[in-house]
């Protein structure tokens, strides 16, 4: 199995006194994931980017600060490099501190478990490199947690290392991406455009979205999705609430499942939810979805598998998934639902017409002696043709 390297950095801090200077509202763990056989080539590309934009030092979000145009140029260059992004975003304001998470040790232990479950159920052969700095309690706890959970064998192994960020370019990239994500989540680090008029985060997102194989928000709250969706485009409250609630419920109900197709279904819904919050009226293409799910699965999936084992099975469960020739999305408007009806109509109507012609030909040839739909299993289909 192909080794994967994860270069991990954390953004934010533990403190919950948000009135104090420097206290973050979010804690973000970001991993840059690279295939082992591509590692040196990726490092070479990133070094060229560093020399271009940061000739005298490290790749640093702080150096870019609120210069959105410069950040966009750097992200555009990074978009051509072959790595992927996994990130977990914790909204500290929404944590139940009375439940024990108000203690630093409990907070780190719980987050260790969630990051572990997300990374190591996806990438079993993971070599992890973390940023070494003065306050690395979370990462040290994470290493201890994984060592406790894992018994290395031929199929699953974990290796760790701590490095200074100045010695590892991909830790610098993790820092930069984590800080860029904070431009959306962290109230105190809004981009320059966000502080004035329209947000530039959509521009940032457009450059890195196809690299994100996982962005987990916790607590994952229904109202957050609704608040983001309502601000953009055509919107029907009832349809949006139902489609988002069903998706979140399915993910929650199947948390921790090891069945491959169930994990694929949950990851598919997560990907649609993620895109929904950024561009609620946009469809996600089949190829983009397959690329994302294939990376998470560790093998190539097919469009047929997506349609039959993921989308079809979720619709059988009653989930609302709109589709068109542009791809898939969670519906938030009547237009989305009619897209699905129209798309289905283009497939169903010709099939029914062919079946009707076949049935009529056999009825004619047998003088109504044989009706190919006159069987118990075809009762509903037969009623459709017999109704006038």
pLDDT band of 380, cuts 50, 70, 90: confident
How much is the pLDDT for 39?
93
How much is the pLDDT for 193?
46
Domain residue spans of the chain = 4-219, 223-332, 337-386
**Residue 90, beta-bridge partner list:** 27, 218
Among 202, 119, 102, 101, smallest CA distance to 158 is for 119
| C-alpha to C-alpha distance for 209 and 116, rounded to whole angstroms | 23
The answer to whether the predicted template modeling score (pTM) of the entire model surpasses 0.85 is no
| C-alpha to C-alpha distance for 53 and 161, rounded to whole angstroms | 27
298 Rama class: left (phi>0) / alpha (psi -120 to 50) / beta: left
Token pair for 100:
């024990």
| pLDDT (tens digit per residue) in 206-238 | 788 888 888 888 776 666 666 566 555 567 888
Find all residues with CB under 8 Å of 206, minimum gap 6, and list them. Answer: none
Longest dimension (CA), the chain: 89
Domain 4-219: assigned CATH number: 3.30.420.10
DSSP-based three-state secondary structure for 281: coil
| pLDDT (tens digit per residue) in 234-265 | 678 889 889 988 998 998 889 878 888 999 99
DSSP-based three-state secondary structure for 136: coil
Token pair for 311:
């989308």
DSSP state of 25: S
- In this structure, the strands spanning 4-11 and 125-131 are parallel
Angle, helices 169-185 vs 68-78, to 10°: value is 130
| pLDDT (tens digit per residue) in 118-172 | 777 677 677 878 776 545 667 777 767 766 766 555 444 556 666 766 778 999 9
Backbone angles phi, psi at 99, to 5 degrees: -85, 10
């Amino acid at each position: 199995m192909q080794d994967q390297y994860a270069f991990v950095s954390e953004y934010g801090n533990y403190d919950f006194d948000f009135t104090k200077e420097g206290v973050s509202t979010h804690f973000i763990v970001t991993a840059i994931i690279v295939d082992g056989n591509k590692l040196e080539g990726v490092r070479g590309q990133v070094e060229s980017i560093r020399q271009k934009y940061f000739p005298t030092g490290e790749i640093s979000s702080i150096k870019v600060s609120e210069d959105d145009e410069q950040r966009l140029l750097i992200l555009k260059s990074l978009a051509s490099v072959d790595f992927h992004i996994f990130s977990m975003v914790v909204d500290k304001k929404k944590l139940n501190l009375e439940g024990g998470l108000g203690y630093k040790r409990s907070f780190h232990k719980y987050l260790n478990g969630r990051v572990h479950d997300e990374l190591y159920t996806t990438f079993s052969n993971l070599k992890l490199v973390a940023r070494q700095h003065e306050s690395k309690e979370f990462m040290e706890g994470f290493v201890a947690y994984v060592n406790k959970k894992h018994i290395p064998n031929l199929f699953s192994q974990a290796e760790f290392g701590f490095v200074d960020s100045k010695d590892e370019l991909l830790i610098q990239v993790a820092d930069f991406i984590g800080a860029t994500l904070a431009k959306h989540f962290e109230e105190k680090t809004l981009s320059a455009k966000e502080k004035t008029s329209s947000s530039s985060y959509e521009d940032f997102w457009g450059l890195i979205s196809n690299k994100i194989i996982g962005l987990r928000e916790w607590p994952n709250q229904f109202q957050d999705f609704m608040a983001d969706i309502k601000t953009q485009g055509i919107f029907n409250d009832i349809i949006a609430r139902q489609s988002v609630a069903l998706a979140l419920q399915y993910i929650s109900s199947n948390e921790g499942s090891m069945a491959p197709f169930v994990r694929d279904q949950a990851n598919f819904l997560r990907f649609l939810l993620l895109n929904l919050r950024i561009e609620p009226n946009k469809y996600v293409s089949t190829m983009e979805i397959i690329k994302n799910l294939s990376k998470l699965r560790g093998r190539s999936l097919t469009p047929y598998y997506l349609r039959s084992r993921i989308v079809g099975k979720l619709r059988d469960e009653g989930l609302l998934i709109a589709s068109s020739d542009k791809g898939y999305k969670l519906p938030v408007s009547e237009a989305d639902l009619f897209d699905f009806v129209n798309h289905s109509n283009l497939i169903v109507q010709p099939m029914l017409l062919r079946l009707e012609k076949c049935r009529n030909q056999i009825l004619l040839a047998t003088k109504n002696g044989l009706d190919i739909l006159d069987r118990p299993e075809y009762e509903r289909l037969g009623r459709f043709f017999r109704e006038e």
